[in-house]
Structure 1
Amino acid sequence: MKLIVLGLSLSSSWGNGHATTFRALLSAFAARGHEVLFLERDVPWYASNRDLPDPDFCRLAYYSSVAHLDRWAEEIAAADAVMVGSYVPDGVAVGDWVQATALGVTCFYDIDTPVTLAKLARGDHEYLSPEVIPGYDIYFSFTGGPTLIRLEREYGSPQARALYCSVDTGRYHPIDVPKRWDLSYLGTYSPDRQPTLEHLLLEPARRCPDRRFVVAGPQYPDDIDWPANVERIEHLPPADHPAFYAASRFTLNVTRADMIAAGWSPSVRLFEAGACGTPIISDRWPGIEEVFAPGEAIVLADTAADVIAALDAEAGSMGEAARAAVLAGHSAAIRAAQLEHDLEARQHDRADATRKVMA
């Protein structure tokens, strides 16, 4: 199969989780014998922070505008499938162009589904509009559960399928390193995540000055009052993630408000930490129990006291249980097989529909 992806970024993981998600998925997809071309909008903030400029699992090329995509029009027309990702600059125009150009299966991969739907409800069509959704053969969604029904019934998607983030288990695995921190957090600053980070990490840090904490990620405002026992790392390249998790007694998962409301939206950080065998403390949202068993493979915390209680206890086999859950259902290899199956099934559906029309 020839797959062409127009996504936010593959080359740079700076300030976004899309790059690591695409890297894991597409690497595993290519390993199944498929050919992949990734087209990335050339923007200065990623151009100056590229940590994977030359991937070994696909071709990577850059375009400067929607009009510049005409350079790849023949390839896109001939491809078996073309995927457009969320937060792609000029995403509505890109989607219109892809749907008018591609002859194979077209799909949208939303790595931000609850945020996208909240934007659509406000009339914000930054990268997707209601008019373009029915034109995609498949809407692959970071979010599962009732949201999939909503995408089909309210927005007219011909087919909505959950395609959760995943992890490359060849890169993310347990590492034997000394523990540096009692609790870590890895994530770009987000205003709606910050209150939870305050309650579940900064407040425990203030109450436990003898324990060590760390927050890694860019774009945090200068006016945040970081306790003295909270280390800050401005940017942590993906290559350093496994060692970061391995050096953490526990790691914290914090979910954006729209994703908590929608439920069934596991972040890539959950799977990365789990694959590394690091015990996870998380906020609570519908569907998380379908990913990790609470009390067995994850700690669900509502307050600072819940976090402190977890830090005071021994994690036991929690990290091993989280890793087992990831290996059983959330590896990139499993997700790539699912993507292949859904694309091929849609190809067959289209072929059957064409035969019926011609009969």
Structure 2
Amino acid sequence: MKLVVLGLSLSSSWGNGHATTFRALLKAFAARGHSILFLERDKPWYASNRDLGEVDYCRLELYDSPDDLNRWRGEVAAADAVIVGSYVPDGVEVGAWVQRTAQGVTAFYDIDTPVTLAKLERDDFEYLTPELIPGYDVYLSFTGGPTLRHIEDHYGSPAARPLYCSVDAERYRPLDMPKRWDLSYLGTYSPDRQPTLDRLLIEPARRCPDRRFVVAGPQYPVDLDWPANVERIDHVPPADHPAFYAASRFTLNVTRADMIKAGWSPSVRLFEAGACATPIISDRWDGIDDLFAPGREIILADTSKDVIAALDTDAAEMGRAAQAKTLSGHTAGHRAEELEKWLIEAAESGRETFRTRKSSAA
């Protein structure tokens, strides 16, 4: 299969979770024998923070504007499938161009589904419009559950299919390292996540001055009041994620409000930590118990008291159970197989529609 992907970023993981998702997925997809062209909008904040390194599983090309995409018009037209990702700059114009140009399957890969749908409800068409959705042969969604039916019934998608995030199991694995922190959190600042972070990490840190905590990620306001026992790291490159998790007795998963509302929206951090056998403390949302068994593979916390109680336990066995669950169904290899399945299904559905129309015309 010849695949073209127009995504937010492959070259830089700075301030976004898209790059690690695309890297793991496309590496595994290429391992199944497919060829991939990734087109990324050249942006200064990514240009100054590129951490991809050598890549041999796809061809990465940078473009300056939607008009500049015409340099690859022939390859897009000849591709078996073309995927446009969420948050692509000028995504509406890019998506319309893809739908006009591509001859194969077209797909929208929404790595931010609940956020996207909330934006559409507010008539905020930053990278997708309701009119574009029926023009994509398949809507690949980071969110599963009832949201998929809503995308089909309300927005007219021919096929909404789940394609959760995943982890590169070759890169994310347990490391034998001294524990540096009792509880860690890895994530870019988000105003709607901050109250949960305050409740499940900052407040426990204030109540437990002898324990060590860390918050890693960019864009946190400079005026935030951090307790003395909370270390701040502005950015942890993906190559250093396994060491970060290995140095943590527990790690915290915090979910954005729109994703809690939708449910069935696992963060890539869940699977990264799971693959590293680091015990996970998470906020609570519908569908999380379909992924990890509470009390056996993950700890669900509602209050600061819940977190403090968890920190007093030895959860090494829970970390190993989370690792086993992750490796059994949430690696990049699993997602690449699912992606192949959904693209083939869309291609076959398109051929069947063509045959039906041709028969009716006759």
Q: TM tier, shorter chain?
A: over 0.9
Partners of 1:76 and 1:53 in 2: how far apart?
25
- The answer for the alignment partner of 2:314 in structure 1 is 314
Partners of 1:137 and 1:127 in 2: how far apart?
17
Partners of 2:355 and 2:198 in 1: how far apart?
58
Q: How does 1:125-274 map to 2 (within 5 A)?
A: 125-274=125-274
Per-residue deviation at 1:54?
4.1
- The answer for the alignment partner of 2:283 in structure 1 is 283
Q: Secondary structure at the match of 2:155?
A: coil
Find out whether 1:106 has 2:106 as its counterpart.
yes
Question: Please, what is the CA RMSD of the aligned residues?
Answer: 0.7
Find out whether 1:40 has 2:78 as its counterpart.
no
Partners of 1:195 and 1:162 in 2: how far apart?
29
Partners of 1:357 and 1:222 in 2: how far apart?
60
Give deviations 1:70-114, integer Å, cap 9, x for gaps. 110000000000000000000000000000000000000000000
Q: Where does the alignment leave 5 or more consecutive residues of structure 2 unmatched? A: none
Partners of 1:251 and 1:96 in 2: how far apart?
41
Runs of 4+ in 1 over 4 A off after TM superposition: none
Q: Could you tell me whether the CA contact under 8 Å between 2:250 and 2:278 is conserved in 1?
A: yes
Partners of 2:330 and 2:10 in 1: how far apart?
20
Give deviations 1:196-223, integer Å, cap 9, x for gaps. 0000000000000000000100000011
Q: Secondary structure at the match of 1:317?
A: helix
Q: Where does the alignment leave 5 or more consecutive residues of structure 1 unmatched? A: none
- The answer for the alignment partner of 1:63 in structure 2 is 63
Give deviations 1:268-324, integer Å, cap 9, x for gaps. 000000000000000000000001000000000000000000001111410011011
Partners of 2:316 and 2:332 in 1: how far apart?
27
Partners of 1:267 and 1:156 in 2: how far apart?
26
Paired AA for residue 298 in structure 2: I
Per-residue deviation at 1:358?
3.0
Partners of 1:177 and 1:292 in 2: how far apart?
25
**Count of residue correspondences:** 359
Partners of 1:56 and 1:188 in 2: how far apart?
28
Partners of 1:328 and 1:122 in 2: how far apart?
39
- The answer for the alignment partner of 2:26 in structure 1 is 26
Q: Secondary structure at the match of 1:3?
A: strand
Q: Secondary structure at the match of 1:60?
A: strand
Paired AA for residue 199 in structure 1: R
Q: Could you tell me whether the CA contact under 8 Å between 1:54 and 1:60 is conserved in 2?
A: no
Per-residue deviation at 1:53?
5.2
Paired AA for residue 272 in structure 1: E
Paired AA for residue 22 in structure 2: F
Which moves more between the two structures, 5-14 or 315-324?
315-324
TM-score (norm: length of structure 2): 0.98
Paired AA for residue 101 in structure 1: T
Q: Could you tell me whether the CA contact under 8 Å between 1:253 and 1:282 is conserved in 2?
A: yes
Q: Could you tell me whether the CA contact under 8 Å between 1:87 and 1:127 is conserved in 2?
A: yes
Partners of 1:266 and 1:26 in 2: how far apart?
19
Q: Could you tell me whether the CA contact under 8 Å between 1:249 and 1:278 is conserved in 2?
A: yes
Partners of 1:356 and 1:144 in 2: how far apart?
30
Same amino acid, percent of matched pairs:
74
Partners of 1:347 and 1:136 in 2: how far apart?
12
Give deviations 1:250-270, integer Å, cap 9, x for gaps. 000000000000000000000
Per-residue deviation at 1:346?
1.3
Per-residue deviation at 1:56?
1.5
Q: Could you tell me whether the CA contact under 8 Å between 2:278 and 2:316 is conserved in 1?
A: no
Q: Secondary structure at the match of 1:352?
A: helix
